[in-house]
Structure 1
């Protein structure tokens, strides 16, 4: 089938390339995205004022599409903050510290704990939760702070966030841009997340053991003194008995959520809603126990603080998502029915045209999507490039005739692993700050394991597409 590419297609392609170039140069893409939306609006409607309207309407469309993701992250942060400040989170994790006797045990126990908590709380809250409690324990058995930060990066910002199986924030954005279901994307991403996780963490572990043995890595006395105690603002508000009760109730409620998800077949937005609703009720219960008569006001303040965090994180994502949504179903929803006759959407049209002129295959598609995803992660967000990764995956999947879900998963892995908090200095700051280490040194430590994992995972992806 021959596709007649028109001005809209070339404009979209041009701005996609511009966005990639801007990201490579580590500059902000918001202005470019707004300009692209504006020009698409003018060209499609032949109206200046409608082009101006398109910018605002595309933002509304993107926010509506992303609001569930923004809200769940905001609620999780609100809940995890009060759990941390009251010391409940410390009680929740303390049983695991009894098993940490060697650097090897510290590596895998902290890593697995970080991964599991990140699935439910997301890595940013989990970093504070894990770092405050487990860092002193790890250093006592000979594991340096830089290694603890690396562990939290790889298992949390890497494995947990790149898959995001529970909250499903990242898959929602990528799947929407690729035009596939969230469940389909998650199913396709599982083998790739496993391969990436195993290769990356094992490589990092081998390097760490070698450096510990040679003396290149060691615990400094000043690190132990600096990281020994993390003050909790509300630590005296609850009795030890109350903290222990909540420390049991919270994981039980989330474990119950997981059981319900499997038994009721909840996926995507339904699964997110269950986790979010549970987090809200946990926040309310703890607030009433801690604040008594001030609970009504404190619940509101906690939710507002979480929303501020959520919109601060997703602020740079909205313009990028707004532009790339115009490549799919968002075009008609935002601008109207101005696409060329017989068009299946800008991205689909480009994919069909590409299929007619370029001999694509699974190997080329896999390498391209990992590369594109990784490039989009250079802005240090991880999320801002997910829409682009999904759109490119849809284009290549259409051209190849198969493997859209796998290609989308590869793009998501590249974007999250690079930009989500493992290889970009300003993205690893949360873990670096908690552990008191240099973010540039941390990214250098992460580089070889992450790049090794991306190469191996891409090769595996070639055979799956």
Structure 2
């Protein structure tokens, strides 16, 4: 009941005109961020700082319009609530992410230099071994590239294994005269579908927390549609090769 009354109270802080004004201003500010990133070639931390600074600026504007004299005090409260929400949402991710980072390139930095010099991380080595154990035919190539994409997506990132997927696709394209572009696209789709936030719970945590649903339940409900999509896409790729 307290949360409902708080939400209702916050809705009444801004007038209808203010809401419409901010609905126009906010997209414009973020579009300007995109323009600034392109023009000044901002990447990584610089781009993140720009977007984050814009978000805080918008928060200040809205708080000033809604709370007037208590704007600074309320802004501090909103920032604290946001940080608490962030820790509550991403807290479970830390041990899970640490486990899966062990299978990536960060193994040596976390554990030590125990892997062979040619190793690309346990997960990536597993994908390479899978690619080297199968015969080089178009059909097997499509299935293998899909498998490699799925394996590299298990860390919850849809992009970390794209370099490995490209290498495996290139291997099969030379060995079986298959289309390298088709195989690469197939592997990218699998990696992004699995690791980009569909059936891996730790990749779903941010969206699930914002929507107030259980990430494991969301992943369970996504499982069958995503598996069907993976199978159909892989079969279609076989005909395109």
Q: Same-fold call, TM > 0.5?
A: yes
State the alpha-carbon separation in 1 of the partners of residues 49 and 63 from structure 2: 21
1:365 aligns with 2:156: no
Over the aligned positions, Cα root-mean-square deviation in angstroms equals: 4.4
Equivalent position of 2:112 in the other structure: 336
Equivalent position of 1:272 in the other structure: 48
How many Å apart are 1:274 and its aligned residue? 2.6
Counterpart among 346, 357, 369 of residue 121 in structure 2 = 346
Equivalent position of 1:290 in the other structure: 66
1:246 to 1:464, Cα distance in 2 relative to 1, 3 A? farther
1:386 aligns with 2:167: no
1:246 to 1:353, Cα distance in 2 relative to 1, 3 A? closer
Say which SS state the counterpart of residue 232 (structure 1) adopts.
Answer: helix
1:413 aligns with 2:193: yes
1:353 to 1:419, Cα distance in 2 relative to 1, 3 A? closer
Unpaired runs of 5+ in structure 2? Answer: 172-182
How many Å apart are 1:255 and its aligned residue? 1.9
Give the number of equivalent residue pairs.
213
Counterpart among 90, 104, 109 of residue 314 in structure 1 = 90
State the alpha-carbon separation in 2 of the partners of residues 351 and 260 from structure 1: 39
- The answer to whether the 8 A contact 2:149-2:188 is kept is no
Comparing both chains, which one has the higher relative contact order based on Cα–Cα distances under 8 Å and sequence gaps of 6 or more?
1
How many Å apart are 1:409 and its aligned residue? 4.4
- The answer to whether the 8 A contact 1:355-1:400 is kept is no
State the alpha-carbon separation in 1 of the partners of residues 233 and 35 from structure 2: 30
Say which SS state the counterpart of residue 233 (structure 1) adopts.
Answer: helix
1:330 to 1:447, Cα distance in 2 relative to 1, 3 A? closer
How many Å apart are 1:243 and its aligned residue? 2.6
Say which SS state the counterpart of residue 69 (structure 2) adopts.
Answer: helix
Counterpart among 211, 219, 234 of residue 430 in structure 1 = 211
- The answer to whether the 8 A contact 2:193-2:226 is kept is no
1:370 to 1:458, Cα distance in 2 relative to 1, 3 A? farther
State the alpha-carbon separation in 1 of the partners of residues 94 and 118 from structure 2: 26
Tell me the TM-score normalised to structure 2 length: 0.63
Which digits, 9 at most, give the CA deviation of each residue in 1:332-366, with x for residues without a partner?
A: 222233334x3434334444444443336641234
- The answer to whether the 8 A contact 1:288-1:295 is kept is yes
Q: Which residues of 2 match residues 171-190 of structure 1 at below 5 A?
A: none
- The answer to whether the 8 A contact 1:366-1:462 is kept is no
